[in-house]
Structures are given as C-alpha cells and as structure tokens.
Amino acid sequence: MTMRRLAAYCSAAWLASPVALAGLLVLLYLHVTTPWVRQHDVGAHREYIEYLSTHKALPPVLQGWETWQPPLYYVAAALWRALFSAFPFDDPFRPVQYLATVLYLTAILAAVRIFRQLNLNAVERVGALCLLAVLPANLFLAARINNDVFLPLLGAGVMFVTAEFIRTGTRRWLWWLAFLLPAALATKGSSLAIAGGSLALVLWAELRCSGWWPALRHTCLTALPAAIWELAWSLRTLAQTGNPLYVNARLLPDELRVHAPACSRFLSFDFAAFLGGAVYYDQPVRQSYPTALLTSLVYGEYGMHEHTFHWPELLRWGCLGLVLLLAAGALVAPRAELRPVWITCLVLAGCQALLAVVYAVQFAYACNQDMRFYAQAFIPLSCLCGLGIGHFWQEAGWIGRGVVLVVAVALLLGLADFYLALLF
C-alpha cells in the first residue's frame, strides 16, 4: 500500500508539473508585459472596452478599428475592469490583462480535467499539457487585451462536449453544446469553423444510432441558439454597413500585403529563412504561409530583433520536430477508447485551419498568417500532439522514445533560452 501511495504521489506530481510551469511562466510574463507590449491592435480593443464602460451600450459597427467584432469579450472585460476601479493602476487597462491571465490558467486547468476524462494516458496528458503551458503562441494570450483570449477555453469546451457526445451518445451533452456555440460566436466570428465542425460531428454521431429525421432534428435544435445569435448579429451588421459579413481587413496598409502567388505561398516552406533566424514580418517568412505560421507559434507575430537568443536553432529544430509529432497524432489511429476525441480534434482543428487559410487567401496580408487564428483549436491541436507523443513513446520502441526525447530537449532548451531573454 505504501508503494502504491508513493507511485500515486509521484504520478500526481508529474502530471501537476505542467500546471506549475504554466503558473510560473504566466506570472513572470505578466510582470514584464505592459498593456501595450506584444499586443495586436491593442488601441482599438481598448477603444471598444472604453466605449462600453462609458456609454453602457455597444458602439456602432464602424465606430473604430475593432468595433465590428462580436461583443462578449468586450462586455466581460468592461465588467472585469469595473471590479478593480477602486484600485490605483498606472494604466487603467492593467486589470484587463489579469482577465487574460485568469483565462489562460483556467484553460490549462480545464485541459487537465478534459484529457483525464477523455482517457488520455499519463504520457499523452503530460505532453499535451506541456505544449499548452510553454508555447509562446498560447502564453502570449495570457497578458493580451483582445478577444482571442477567450477562444482556447471556449474551444476546449466545444471539443470536450462534442467528444463526450460521440463517445456516450448521451443527449444532455447537446444542451452544453447549445450554450457553448453561441458563446463562441459572440466572442469571434471565426468560431463559425468549430461551430460547423461540431454540428457536423453531432449529425454524424446521431446518424450512426438513429435515422435521418431524428439526427436532423437534434442537430438543428442544438444549432438553434447559435443560429439565432448569428442571424441577429449579421442583421445588425448589414443594417450599419450594407454587408452582413463585414470585416475591416480591406483597410490594412498596403505595406503589409503579401504579393507572392497563392500556390507558392501556401505550398512552400522556407527552411533557410526559418532555420536562419528570420522572424515574423521579415520578407522571406511572410512569403510562405507555413513558414510564417510556425514562426508565430514559437515567437509570436512580432519582430523579436531586440532580443539576443543564444540557442535559436534548438527552438526552431524542436518546432519542426513538434510538427512530426502532430502529424503522427493526426494520421495514426489511436486505441479504441480514444477514437471519439481523436475524430473530434481532427475535425475541429481541420475546420479551423480551413477557415484560417481561406481568410489568409482572401486578405493576403502578413498579419493574417499567424497562430492566433487557430486559438479555438489550441487544445484540440495540443491533444493531437499528445497522441503523437504517445504513438512514438509506446509503439515505436526505443527509436520512438529517442525521437520524443530529442524533440523535447531541443524544444525545452530553446524555449528556456527564449524566455530567459524575454522575461529577465
């Protein structure tokens, strides 16, 4: 019994280590990050929140740069800031950064519960959680003032509920999905991708156990709250702009436009630029969508030229190894009890990727080629990476374990160098 308890304590400590790491990193990152540092269009997001706080009403769609966005995050941020109104801050939006920090940590803790509930083993869980904790694309959301900060948590909820419905067939999960989908759409319009993917999975799962009519009826009832929200918001946007799907991307400056042909832009990878130290807005990187995407995963959509890194090659090679693990998790079918979560993650991540690519084709600007457009799928993608780590570790023998260890050491050493330069 003593040995069993000791083993249980060791296992719990091992699984808790990514959460502790996330807590340490986010506190350090919040300490060094002002409301203006590493922020995307922060002035426009602040304007939206300020308008809500001052006027107690939604701004007109064309009031500012970001006021066409759905309002859920901005309402929550305005209310959150009001809770701290009695405390003195150098910047009145500093409390809004705390909201982002709370959401980041909540998403990590939710992932702990979700991965355990969905039967991932210890190796898969630790791998997935470590990626969520340490990758800059996710950590940078933890001190940001914009609506992206809500999306990983909402995406985690949609993934969990959908996977549980596929696994159990219990229709009470559809009530949760009917709540989460309009919340995601009321946060950002790009949530249409995971909403459509989750509803397609509901229809598919229902068809497996009932006829077309029950399947359509339950899917439509699940989609009804989201459809009502989307119709109401689209009609409001149509009345004010003449376009129900208005976005302001056409207003971006021409110097951000990417002039590379679409085929070469999306079907190429510039190894020389990626491994040679180029960062997000550098010309070689912006000419290739996959290169820009991976660069933003480990450096964010920022220049980073002011920092001196000692081992950038390790970070970049580790990132390429991470792609290998993700490919294994996506392409190799897992054990039977993981099929529902595997299928759910594949569909949700695939739908979000398709929407991100379509957006980047339609609005061919450098700023539209980064991982923040995948925020709803951060936890599904990390889950797929965890499954890939499990495949290599458990099924590929000592060679597979060697691959995982090499990738992990390169990535962690590169990230340690990155965060030491960034945080100290």
What digits encode the pLDDT tens for the residues 39-94? 888 999 999 999 999 999 999 999 888 999 999 999 999 999 999 988 889 899 99
Residue 1 has what pLDDT? 47
Examine the pLDDT at 12 and tell me if it is beyond 90.
no
Contact between residue 143 and residue 33 where contact means Cβ atoms under 8 Å apart: yes
Tell me the torsion sign for CA atoms 112, 401, 388, 396. negative
φ and ψ of 248, to 5 deg: -95, 15
Answer yes or no: is 26 within a domain.
no
**pTM of the entire predicted model:** 0.94
Residue 356's pLDDT is 96
CA-wise closest residue to 107 among 412, 424, 383? 383
Tokens at residue 404, please? 């995982």
pLDDT at 6: 47
Specify whether the CB–CB gap between 206 and 214 falls below 8 A.
Answer: yes
8 A C-beta contact, residue 114 and residue 156: yes
In a 3-state reduction of DSSP, which class is residue 105?
helix
Q: For the chain, what is the domain count?
A: 1
**Using N-to-C axis directions, what is the helix angle for 339-362 and 378-395, rounded to 10°?**
130
Mean pLDDT, rounded, for 23-37: 93
Q: How far apart are CA 368 and CA 296, in angstroms?
A: 11
Instruction: Decide which of 90 and 10 is more confident.
Output: 90
Alpha-carbon span 273 to 296, nearest angstrom: 13
Give pLDDT tens digits for 116-155: 999 999 999 999 999 999 999 999 999 999 999 999 999 9
Band of pLDDT at residue 13, cut at 50, 70 and 90: low
Confidence of residue 4 (pLDDT cuts 50, 70, 90): low
Q: How far apart are CA 349 and CA 377, in angstroms?
A: 5
Considering the domain boundaries, does residue 12 fall inside one? no
pLDDT value of residue 210:
84
Question: Using CA atoms, how far apart are residues 54 and 123, in angstroms rounded to an integer?
Answer: 49
Residue 59 covered by a domain: yes
Pair of tokens at residue 298: 């480990």
Radius of gyration of the chain from its Cα atoms, rounded to whole angstroms = 22
Residue 243 has pLDDT above 60, yes or no: yes
Residue 329 covered by a domain = yes
Task: Look at residue 5 in the predicted model and tell me its pLDDT.
Answer: 59
- Statement: residue 302 has pLDDT above 90: no
**Structural domain includes residue 95:** yes
What residues make up the domain containing 40? 36-423
- For 185-211, the pLDDT digits (tens) are 999 999 999 999 999 999 999 998 888
Minimum mean pLDDT range among 3-7, 20-24, 303-307, 346-350 = 3-7
Buried b (16+ CB within 10 A) or exposed e, 320-345: bbbbebbebbbeeebeeebebbbbbb
Task: Find the mean pLDDT for residues 24-28.
Answer: 94
Tokens of 69: 């966005």
Domain-located, residue 260:
yes
Q: Is the dihedral of CA 191, 192, 193, 196 positive or negative?
A: positive
Burial of 186 (0-12, 13-18, 19+ CB in 10 A): buried
Which pLDDT tens digit goes with each residue over 352-393?
Answer: 999 999 999 999 999 999 999 999 999 999 999 999 999 999
374, part of any domain? yes
Cα-Cα-Cα-Cα dihedral sign, residues 84, 85, 86, 89: positive
> Per the domain annotation, does 21 fall within a domain?
no
Distance, in Å, from the CA atom of 156 to the CA atom of 162, rounded to the nearest integer, reads 10
Kindly indicate the confidence band of residue 184, based on its pLDDT and cuts at 50, 70 and 90: very high
φ, ψ for residue 377 (rounded to 5)?
-105, 10
The DSSP-derived string for 154-211 is: HHHHHHHHHHHHHHH--THHHHHHHHHHHHHHTT-GGGHHHHHHHHHHHHHHHHHHS-
